[in-house]
Structure 1
Amino acid sequence: MSSDNIEVTFEDGGKEVLPKGISVVEALRTTGRSANGWVASRVNGKLTDLSRTIEEDARIEAITADTEAGLDVLRHSASHIMAQAVKELFPDAKIAIGPAIENGFYYDFDVERPFTHEDLERIEQKMAEIIAARLQFKRREMPRDEAVRLFREQGEQYKVELLEELEDASVSLYQQGDFLDLCRGPHIPHTGYVKAHKLISLAGAYWRGDERNPMLQRIYGTAFPDRAALKRYLHFLEEAQKRDHRRLGRELDLFSFSDEVGAGMVIYHPKGAVLRHILETFEKREHLRRGYQLVIGPTLLKTELWKRSGHFDHYRENMYFTEIEDQSYGIKPMNCLAHMLIYKSKIRSYRDLPLRLFELGTVHRHEKSGVLHGLLRVRQFTQDDAHILCMPQQLHAEIQSIIDFVIEVMGIFGFSYEMEISTRPAKSIGTDEDWERATGALVSALQDKGIAYSVCEGEGAFYGPKIDVKLKDALDRRWQCATIQCDFTLPERFDLTYIGADGERHRPVMVHRVILGAIERFLGVLIEHYAGAFPSWLAPVQAVVMTVTDGQLEFARKVHQQLKDLGVRAELDDRSEKLGYKIREAQVQKVPYMLVIGDREVAAGGVRPRLRDGSQLDMMSAEQVAALIEKECLDATKGRIGLGII
């Protein structure tokens, strides 16, 4: 074969000899193949534009808009289209970054005044004009220094800052029409590939998520290859908005945040505290019945300990530090150090293992204000944290036991799940051998249970690989909660040992794991999963007793007290309000049972429960109501939780 030719292999198995330097799209057309539906391609495994040239023997694969990679390309291109629209409407705007994200894209701008929703409408219309013009996305390569000069002349200081941090001698830029942007690509062939788009919302965002940097204006949007898909997504957004835990948290009077307290610090109101108490009591019972021991570690530990563990070198930017009498302390971001010290407090025998230590430990992590989000991302939170120290030969069974624990608990809450294994990150501690052993243990545990998993390269903790459990909620959204981390490294650093059957000292393995994860985050997920309508076993208020007139007050108070004595979380609404108003308010509060008491109920000495879906039950006594609620709770929790937990 001539040196001017290359061999190209196509997905259909065909092979063709073509001129070196031919573009992907030309290679398809020249050989009678169609590029219809392609938004980009993969050449020898690398994602590229259809216009990119092929310089060596290659395999070409299609990237279509109905794939995850194709949607990312489409949405990243849509973010460039949005930036072009903004620059045409607001020429003084400075552009920052505009990536594709899950379900859409965003772009950050530095503008004199915040954008308004009216501005969004104008930008969206301008985007439609740019899309209709079918402007080509053209890739340009240039020396980095030349790119710096170009963007500096344009006054685009954020692009200059990004470029000055790059070590590459040359960089790539993309242009559509008169708009030029720094970008690795790839992009769709022309703007007309975006068939459906919508700008969703506005937000403030510090440059690079750092509150010391300028506050930028962020526009969120989404794009799809067809209007039907966009319509479905907008309906999903409406449902998600109804379930937003921040709004429901206010409406249900569960929790709040205060600028006076500080960002990322949750204030639990009585109902929220009850909900949390139920979860924590459930957790303690479940751990105790599985052989875990409850422990409590301090919030402050000397900085020297954090240096020994590796957190100071690898996690310091996420920690808070303070000084007491000239001694430096770290506020714990996780609970493992105290648990290792408990293990070291006496000589351990192989007969003591596995040792399972469980703590509902409150931790603090320095999250940037730009990423804080209700209960889902906070600075102070409580983890259902446990550390299992075991012999290497016990590791497989312990990991499988944790997997069973997670699956059983998530079934009670009604979650399905997916599992991922996250492998060694670039910034890590420990030997290659230990990482291979730890990763192999996680893989074999999942494989032996027949559980499918995906692999996230380089996303493990700095001390070990992990299994991440992604919950799927009522809207089929994924949430990271449970995690299982296998660690051969910290036991080495803290010289943890046990006396084996041979009388010699041996090194245990440590498993870090959470089931619900951060209680705050899990509560946020639960609120959205149930849309605030908690099942009876979780509902802060299980029943509201309400009167029609003041004439039923005495009997209503008696019923209310009976229910409380039987363990029902009941409230009494004896206000001089119309009954319809009381019922509507209880429905808004999503109370499972409403017990309306009028003259007929007083005469019969019972109540007729009304459910929050509007259905009505037959007349029954307070004892029967309590028995009904208890059965519902026990059925939902597989016999774990009845009445009287509060």
Structure 2
Amino acid sequence: AQVTIGPVIDNGFYYDFAYQRPFTPEDLPRIEDEMRKIAAEAMPLSRTVKSRDDAVAFFQGIGETYKAEIIRAIPAQEELSLYSQGEFTDLCRGPHVPDTGRLKVFKLLKVAGAYWRGDSNNAMLSRIYGTAFLNDKDLKAYLHQVEEAERRDHRRIGKALDLFHLQEEGPGLVFWHPKGWSIWQVVEQYMRRVYRDTGYGEVRCPQILDVSLWKKSGHWDNYAENMFFTESEKRTYAVKPMNCPGHVQVFNQGLHSYRDLPIRYGEFGACHRNEPSGALHGILRVRGFTQDDGHIFCAEEQIEAEVAAFHRQALKVYADFGFADIQVKIALRPDKRLGDDNTWDKAEHALRAALRGASVEWQELSGEGAFYGPKIEYHLKDAIGRTWQLGTMQVDFMMPGRLGAEYVDEHSQRRHPVMLHRAIVGSMERFIGILIEHHAGAFPVWLAPVQAVVLNITDAHAGYAAGSASAGAARFSRRGRFAQRKSGL
């Protein structure tokens, strides 16, 4: 086998191998036995440093062509660290433990296929996932969580309950079935009431827009690799990855006074992003998704009140859907961004001030903001202790000016409004996937696609059962969620 790449990931690691056949789950116990033998031998690990060209020659010489390909892409002047144990040598930044005897509590979890470099045109590799802990107690707790997560897997439950499916002809695109769409409609109508009750006007914007708009907004320079494009009549269009430029166009249709602010727009906006095929995962990570997206156009002095009001509303929504353990984080300026440091200082200060005023504790994530502004993130803990990032609130001083949004202030001067980007559930697809796993498919009655079933004992009762089911369906406003099921008893 050839080794390719093997990074650390959340709760463990994986390694991709090029082998004459795919690995199977039955291979894992034998591999684990060999790992235990190596650990028992307490092999020392040694570090050497090589130039890029020497490292390429070394790995090429031992038949590790994938590793040599990785190294060729590294700048020539960089020195590379190699770690060895016994006869095995690999490229790694390190540091490592002194010897293999320190590694005693580990478990190989599963196998999967993965394309080399994440490109479906390249060779299919065998990926082995594993994890390691300091003690058996922590490993057992983690393995229990993994087992519970598999039981709750939204893909398995989605198939069992006939909610949705995905297929190869539309990678990352969801086919919703009637029962799954029923859940979608409940979530959407709930969020539509949130729009209405908090002063948002619902809008609808085009799916594709000329690239000239995306160049003005900054997406062309900062986000193009994640976008889909199409051409017609010698014009290039982009399928929207975000709803914000469209909402600015709605705002721009007319002159606004400072007395009109804040102006709030909401949209269940369908977006498409060119996610790598290897990153797609059921309905939790897709290419086509719909957001409960909203944008608030306001003056600087209104930011704190708007952010605080959004925070209160977001917590209520999460509580209604069964989430009580919420962490708040602020994602700060990334390396690739619009604007100058003074503008970013002002935007980050505004978010901190709003959370401080609402007596909220938060963590800060350096470098993880959007290219146009910092953002508050809401991280929810589910029934088995996993954390999911859902809602966001972003302060944007950039896009209104780039797209010509203006209002007239109290001194009759034209000014650019601040734009607040907000979403509570975020991707509807992802949120429903999280709900499926959080509730393990046993939804609360108000969310369940079928809320009651009428069973007949014999064929003689079938007509009465059907009539009862019809009466129940008519009585309940959510059509199609009250079913009659025939029994052969």
TM range (shorter): over 0.9
Q: For 1:350 and 1:412, locate their aligned partners in 2 and report how far apart those are by CA, in whole Å.
A: 35
Q: Which moved more, 1:461-470 or 1:248-257?
A: 461-470
1:546 to 432, 455, 459: 455
Q: CA deviation at 1:146?
A: 1.6
Q: For 1:442 and 1:207, locate their aligned partners in 2 and report how far apart those are by CA, in whole Å.
A: 41
Alignment of 1:347-362 (within 5 A): 347-362=255-270
1:135 to 38, 43, 49: 43
- 1:535 is paired with a residue whose SS is coil
Aligned to 1:33: none
Q: CA deviation at 1:217?
A: 1.0
Q: CA deviation at 1:351?
A: 1.1
Q: Does 1:101 align with 2:13?
A: no
- 1:375 is paired with a residue whose SS is coil
Q: Which moved more, 1:414-423 or 1:342-351?
A: 414-423
Alignment of 1:217-616 (within 5 A): 217-259=126-168, 261-415=169-323, 416-567=325-476, 569-575=481-487, 577-578=488-489
Q: CA deviation at 1:208?
A: 2.5
- 2:412 is paired with a residue whose SS is coil
Aligned to 1:66: none
- 2:184 is paired with a residue whose SS is helix
Q: Give the aligned residue type for 2:360.
A: I
Aligned to 1:174: 83
Q: For 1:331 and 1:116, locate their aligned partners in 2 and report how far apart those are by CA, in whole Å.
A: 40
Q: Give the aligned residue type for 1:572.
A: Q
Q: For 2:298 and 2:87, locate their aligned partners in 1 and report how far apart those are by CA, in whole Å.
A: 63
Q: Give the aligned residue type for 2:439.
A: Y
2:97 to 178, 185, 188: 188
Q: Give the aligned residue type for 2:486.
A: D
Q: For 1:210 and 1:391, locate their aligned partners in 2 and report how far apart those are by CA, in whole Å.
A: 46
Q: For 2:177 and 2:371, locate their aligned partners in 1 and report how far apart those are by CA, in whole Å.
A: 36
- 1:298 is paired with a residue whose SS is coil
- 2:80 is paired with a residue whose SS is strand
Aligned to 1:598: none
- 1:544 is paired with a residue whose SS is strand
Equivalent residues of 2:36, 2:104 under 8 A apart:
no
Q: CA deviation at 1:176?
A: 1.4
Q: Alpha-carbon deviations, 1:384-411, whole Å to 9, x = none? A: 1111110010011111111111111001
Q: Give the aligned residue type for 2:466.
A: R
Q: For 1:449 and 1:210, locate their aligned partners in 2 and report how far apart those are by CA, in whole Å.
A: 46
Q: For 2:80 and 2:298, locate their aligned partners in 1 and report how far apart those are by CA, in whole Å.
A: 51
Q: CA deviation at 1:159?
A: 2.0
Q: For 2:346 and 2:33, locate their aligned partners in 1 and report how far apart those are by CA, in whole Å.
A: 56
Q: Give the aligned residue type for 1:238.
A: E
- 1:347 is paired with a residue whose SS is coil
Q: Unpaired segments of 5 or more residues in structure 2?
A: none
Q: CA deviation at 1:291?
A: 0.3
Q: Does 1:211 align with 2:120?
A: yes
Q: Give the aligned residue type for 1:379.
A: R
Q: For 1:289 and 1:392, locate their aligned partners in 2 and report how far apart those are by CA, in whole Å.
A: 23
Q: CA deviation at 1:164?
A: 2.2
Q: Alpha-carbon deviations, 1:503-535, whole Å to 9, x = none? A: 111111001111000000001000000000000
Q: For 1:473 and 1:501, locate their aligned partners in 2 and report how far apart those are by CA, in whole Å.
A: 47
Q: For 1:557 and 1:171, locate their aligned partners in 2 and report how far apart those are by CA, in whole Å.
A: 73
Q: Give the aligned residue type for 1:571.
A: A
Equivalent residues of 1:195, 1:227 under 8 A apart:
no
Q: CA deviation at 1:382?
A: 0.4
Q: CA deviation at 1:560?
A: 1.4
Q: Give the aligned residue type for 1:115.
A: F
Q: For 1:533 and 1:248, locate their aligned partners in 2 and report how far apart those are by CA, in whole Å.
A: 10
Q: Give the aligned residue type for 1:564.
A: A
Q: CA deviation at 1:254?
A: 0.1
TM-score, normalised with respect to structure 1: 0.74
Equivalent residues of 2:83, 2:92 under 8 A apart:
yes
Q: For 1:297 and 1:514, locate their aligned partners in 2 and report how far apart those are by CA, in whole Å.
A: 17
Q: Give the aligned residue type for 1:300.
A: I
Q: Alpha-carbon deviations, 1:584-633, whole Å to 9, x = none? A: xxxxxxxxxxxxxxxxxxxxxxxxxxxxxxxxxxxxxxxxxxxxxxxxxx
Q: For 2:473 and 2:448, locate their aligned partners in 1 and report how far apart those are by CA, in whole Å.
A: 15
Q: For 2:215 and 2:64, locate their aligned partners in 1 and report how far apart those are by CA, in whole Å.
A: 41
Q: Alpha-carbon deviations, 1:219-257, whole Å to 9, x = none? A: 001111122222222111111111000000000000001
Q: For 2:254 and 2:265, locate their aligned partners in 1 and report how far apart those are by CA, in whole Å.
A: 15
Q: For 1:176 and 1:221, locate their aligned partners in 2 and report how far apart those are by CA, in whole Å.
A: 19
Q: Alpha-carbon deviations, 1:259-296, whole Å to 9, x = none? A: 2x321110000000111011101110111100011000
Q: Alpha-carbon deviations, 1:140-183, whole Å to 9, x = none? A: 22222222211121222222222222234311111112111111
Aligned length: 484
Q: For 1:142 and 1:454, locate their aligned partners in 2 and report how far apart those are by CA, in whole Å.
A: 39
- 1:195 is paired with a residue whose SS is coil
Change (3 A) 1:169 1:327: closer
Q: CA deviation at 1:110?
A: 1.2
Q: For 2:58 and 2:254, locate their aligned partners in 1 and report how far apart those are by CA, in whole Å.
A: 66
Equivalent residues of 1:211, 1:368 under 8 A apart:
no
Q: For 1:384 and 1:550, locate their aligned partners in 2 and report how far apart those are by CA, in whole Å.
A: 46
Q: For 2:308 and 2:420, locate their aligned partners in 1 and report how far apart those are by CA, in whole Å.
A: 12
Q: For 1:128 and 1:318, locate their aligned partners in 2 and report how far apart those are by CA, in whole Å.
A: 43
Equivalent residues of 2:274, 2:287 under 8 A apart:
yes
Q: Give the aligned residue type for 1:554.
A: G
Q: For 1:411 and 1:234, locate their aligned partners in 2 and report how far apart those are by CA, in whole Å.
A: 28
Which structure carries more relative contact order (alpha carbon 8 Å, separation 6+)? 2
Q: For 1:283 and 1:449, locate their aligned partners in 2 and report how far apart those are by CA, in whole Å.
A: 23
Q: For 1:528 and 1:355, locate their aligned partners in 2 and report how far apart those are by CA, in whole Å.
A: 36
2:55 to 127, 143, 147: 147
Alignment of 1:605-644 (within 5 A): none
Equivalent residues of 2:405, 2:417 under 8 A apart:
yes
Q: Which moved more, 1:209-218 or 1:129-138?
A: 209-218
Q: Give the aligned residue type for 1:413.
A: F
Q: CA deviation at 1:190?
A: 1.5
Q: CA deviation at 1:122?
A: 1.4
Q: Give the aligned residue type for 1:376.
A: L
Identity percentage over the alignment?
Answer: 48
Q: Give the aligned residue type for 1:114.
A: P
Q: Give the aligned residue type for 1:195.
A: K
